Structure 1
Amino acid sequence: MISSQSFNQDLLTFLASSPTPFHATAAMANALKAAGFNQLFEHEAWQLKPQKGYFVTRNDSSIIAFTTGNENYTQQGFRMTGAHTDSPCLKIMPNAERYQQGYFQLGLEVYGGVLLAPWFDRDLSLAGRVSYSTQSGKLNSSLIDFEKPVGIIPSLAIHLDREANDKRSINPQKDIPVILGQLPKDQTSFRQLLLEQLQQQGIEDVTKVLDYEVVCYDTQPPGYIGLNQEFIASARLDNLLSCYTGLVALIDAFQQDQQQPMLLVCNDHEEVGSLSACGANGPFLKSTLERVVGIGEPLIVCLENSLMISADNAHGIHPNFADKHDTNHGPKLNEGPVIKINANQRYATTSETSALFRWVCDEVNVPVQAFVTRADMACGSTIGPITAGELGVRTLDVGAPTFAMHSIRELAGSQDAYSLCKALSYFMQLHQLPNK
């Protein structure tokens, strides 16, 4: 594999270029093409060949990449990694324009479990997907990214709210509309701004913006933090860190081994429950596997010989809030990937799948940790249990430990993603699972 320094630098570039799931999916598609993978389209018949790599997208925001190996799917099964492309954020409403006190603002809808407080006083830009009519009367869609700071959500001065540090709550309807400037009410609209942005990006045949999925994002670029660059700080580490880690692991494994079938799935909409056409609780992965392996008994046998590793960040033990963790289950940054376990199946890990991952980590000399939430606290979940339930495939949940999950800027160790990537690459090349 490439060095940890090169891996991290490419990770930072990927994070910076992926302000939305659409952009992340496009970036992964470009990386797969560069690595020799061929793009498939769901509306076309597939003609697959052995020892080749392929990928397919859905909704421009979810992607599945796989290798055919020697096409002995029933005996070898797939080595699969899963992640999700979406992150909690603030999404522009359909009729977003607000004019208050001479300021042009946009109403925002909260997507997922956002930590709202960190969004105040940040230099925000806009990115997403825009659908429009063309001069020839057709409908088209394109990705946009304003790139530069165009908005801000200012805090209320403490002089006007003396209890701000004690009792301030945030009302997402009233308190977070983003300010874009001081524009005359009768001279602009958000759709007009989107049309002008499309034109600036070189799309000249736009006649009318019909609809959009656009979000705010922080323009502060990803970077290293710490006296010795121990940490990586960035937006959307949950869960683009895992997407990129799985992507590099797949490409690296395929370059070394064309015999074993491997697969990476990165679903959208995990942060809001995964129930969508392109989410983990939808048919995307199963329908793709059916087209590759076949339906009925061949797929059942294939899945019995397969294993899914669901990669999604884990909660590192925070030095200021150590009591939020069980005493014996406080993962630390830069001490290796974390096996995530929950008795109530909020994570899909079993003792067998956990043991297999520990064995893999031992084989590549990667340290491994374990996380169980406190018995008196609720536990989050991942695509792991959903995928296991949809497919019946053995699954475990792992992730790199992080701080500030669901904040506008999260923190991870600068060694953990690379360590996880090494383990995933080795796992994907296993022709025979050691416990089969």
Structure 2
Amino acid sequence: MSTADRPVFFDRTHTDDLIAYLAAAPSPYHAVAGAAERLEKAGFRQVAEADAWEGTTGGKYVVRGGALIAWYVPAGAVAATPFRVVGTHTDSPNLRVKPVPDTGSAGWRQVAVEIYGGVPLNTWLDRDLGLSGRLVLRDGSTRLVQLDEPLLRVPQLAIHLDRQVNDGLKLDKQRHLTPIWGLGPVDEGGLIGYVSERAGVAAADVLGWDLMTHDVQPPSYLGRDRELLAGPRLDNLLSVHAATAALAAAVTEGGDQLPYIPVLAAFDHEETGSESDTGAQGPLLGRVLERSVHSRGGSEEDRARALAGTICLSSDMGHAVHPNYSERHEPGHHPVPNGGPILKVNVNNRYATDGVGRAVFAAACERAGVPWQAFVSNNAMPCGTTIGPITAARLGITTVDCGIAALSMHSARELCGAEDPYLLASAIKSFLEG
């Protein structure tokens, strides 16, 4: 059915803004900066973890590296007011620069990289790659770097030298994924010197860095009727953007009437297990919630009561049915693009959803007038996981896993329905409003 014949569920301006957000967020640090910018336009202000926090009403947020926690305290909130948390993550699988980056062979200058997360390696071959991330300077400050130009490339071996490549491509992570970026002998200090110059700082002042590659092809609509969205880092910046938009809209349209304290928790390092100071397994979210209670004069009893009434919506990408591999999906559950957000269920707790969570999610979608779908994995296939079970276990709160249906998850370039980002944001807003 053509999009011209389907009912119009979505606001295309939301997806347009998502495209702009994705293009400006090639690293977790840029993703956090983009979310913070949008929150500040909605009246939020940044607070430092090392400062004393006031129990004033309004929107606040904390940034730590590639993670952001934002919350809004309504005028009527008391110390034991429960939270409504939306959990997401800012990182995506990619190739990250090693501590000694300059290498080379056979007259080629190359950059040493390490595989970050679960990367389908072939999707990074023969792509024009830029560099992004942050530089850490001698005075302790950081400088964001985003070089959106074709600097590096991981060239695939010509078929003439591998006649069996179409019978099964086998890539060695150490030997075959090293990008080239020029000709000549190994240029020690060359990469960091180049990046420092482009960032406008002296190379001698750069004492640390967190740099990564990204595909420079911009995100875009796709398909005859432009009903699809193709782009990098949809997993999981689509959810970060949706949650940011939902939080900003909820507080702008009636923040002081909210019955709960809405919270956005955008973690880093989900793709590698979440075990870091900025990951969901760390104490960051728990400490922010605790300090929020205490800053309003609350006790440990108030904190326990607040958490007892708290619900978390963990939003992460899910799988649409792949038309070329439909046998790998659960035959009774076929989420489709532009069918609305998906409720993710796994009875072995790879997802945190239970019957209570399902009811909360269904009610939120119903209030928003948003269609939704159910997702469960094929019993014969392993199931991925999210920050949902981690958050539920760390804080002891009811948690629901949701997302939207997509293809090519973890690829350098992923694919989803162009309507679903708006539908997800609408459902999240309804959830935050309670």
Q: TM-score, normalised by structure 1?
A: 0.93
SS of structure 2 residue aligned to 1:220:
coil
Aligned counterparts, 1:249-328, within 5 A? 249-259=246-256, 260=258, 261-294=261-294, 296-328=300-332
Aligned counterparts, 1:166-177, within 5 A? 166-177=167-178
Structure 1 pair 183–144 and aligned structure 2 pair: CA distance change class (3 A): farther
| Residue 166 (structure 2) aligns with | 165
Rounded Cα–Cα distance in structure 1 between residues aligned with 2:357 and 2:364: 11
Structure 1 pair 163–359 and aligned structure 2 pair: CA distance change class (3 A): same
Structure 1 pair 389–178 and aligned structure 2 pair: CA distance change class (3 A): same
| Residue 433 (structure 1) aligns with | none
- Partners of 2:103 and 2:187 within 8 A in 1: no
Rounded Cα–Cα distance in structure 2 between residues aligned with 1:363 and 1:188: 57
Aligned counterparts, 1:8-157, within 5 A? 8-50=15-57, 52-59=58-65, 61-70=66-75, 72-73=77-78, 76-133=81-138, 138-157=139-158
Rounded Cα–Cα distance in structure 2 between residues aligned with 1:411 and 1:165: 24
- Partners of 2:102 and 2:187 within 8 A in 1: no
Rounded Cα–Cα distance in structure 2 between residues aligned with 1:143 and 1:291: 29
Deviates further, 258-267 or 244-253 = 258-267
Rounded Cα–Cα distance in structure 1 between residues aligned with 2:109 and 2:247: 46
Measure how far apart 1:73 and its partner are: 4.7
- Partners of 2:219 and 2:231 within 8 A in 1: yes
| CA deviation string 1:363-421 (max 9, x = no partner) | 22211100111112111100000001011111100001100000000001011111111
Amino acid at match of 2:30: H
| Residue 180 (structure 1) aligns with | 181
| Residue 385 (structure 2) aligns with | 381
SS of structure 2 residue aligned to 1:149:
strand
The answer to whether the aligner puts 1:347 opposite 2:351 as a matched pair is yes
Rounded Cα–Cα distance in structure 2 between residues aligned with 1:71 and 1:291: 18
Rounded Cα–Cα distance in structure 2 between residues aligned with 1:139 and 1:341: 43
Amino acid at match of 2:56: K
The answer to whether the aligner puts 1:402 opposite 2:395 as a matched pair is no
Q: Which runs of 5+ in 2 are unaligned?
A: 1-8
For the aligned residue pairs, the C-alpha RMSD in angstroms reads 1.5
Rounded Cα–Cα distance in structure 1 between residues aligned with 2:328 and 2:186: 48
Rounded Cα–Cα distance in structure 1 between residues aligned with 2:205 and 2:251: 44
- Partners of 1:118 and 1:408 within 8 A in 2: yes
Rounded Cα–Cα distance in structure 2 between residues aligned with 1:42 and 1:75: 22
Structure 1 pair 323–290 and aligned structure 2 pair: CA distance change class (3 A): same
Q: Percent identity?
A: 38
| Residue 6 (structure 2) aligns with | none
Deviates further, 140-149 or 69-78 = 69-78
195, 213, 228: which is aligned to 1:216? 213
Rounded Cα–Cα distance in structure 2 between residues aligned with 1:265 and 1:185: 42
| CA deviation string 1:80-127 (max 9, x = no partner) | 111000001100111121121111001110000001101001010001
SS of structure 2 residue aligned to 1:67:
strand
349, 357, 363: which is aligned to 2:361? 357
Measure how far apart 1:187 and its partner are: 7.4
Rounded Cα–Cα distance in structure 2 between residues aligned with 1:307 and 1:188: 49
- Partners of 1:74 and 1:301 within 8 A in 2: no
SS of structure 1 residue aligned to 2:205:
strand
| Residue 7 (structure 1) aligns with | 14
| CA deviation string 1:257-281 (max 9, x = no partner) | 2232111000000000001011000
Amino acid at match of 1:65: A
Q: TM-score, normalised by structure 2?
A: 0.94
Amino acid at match of 2:217: Q
- Partners of 1:194 and 1:209 within 8 A in 2: no
SS of structure 1 residue aligned to 2:286:
helix
Q: Which runs of 5+ in 1 are unaligned?
A: 431-436
- Partners of 1:331 and 1:401 within 8 A in 2: yes
Measure how far apart 1:206 and its partner are: 5.5
Rounded Cα–Cα distance in structure 1 between residues aligned with 2:184 and 2:51: 47
Measure how far apart 1:70 and its partner are: 2.9
- Partners of 2:197 and 2:203 within 8 A in 1: no
220, 223, 226: which is aligned to 1:226? 223
- Partners of 2:80 and 2:303 within 8 A in 1: no
Amino acid at match of 2:423: S
- Partners of 2:59 and 2:70 within 8 A in 1: yes
Rounded Cα–Cα distance in structure 2 between residues aligned with 1:287 and 1:377: 37
Amino acid at match of 2:162: D
| Residue 416 (structure 2) aligns with | 412
Rounded Cα–Cα distance in structure 2 between residues aligned with 1:373 and 1:73: 41
SS of structure 1 residue aligned to 2:15:
helix
Deviates further, 33-42 or 74-83 = 74-83
Measure how far apart 1:139 and its partner are: 3.5
Amino acid at match of 1:172: K
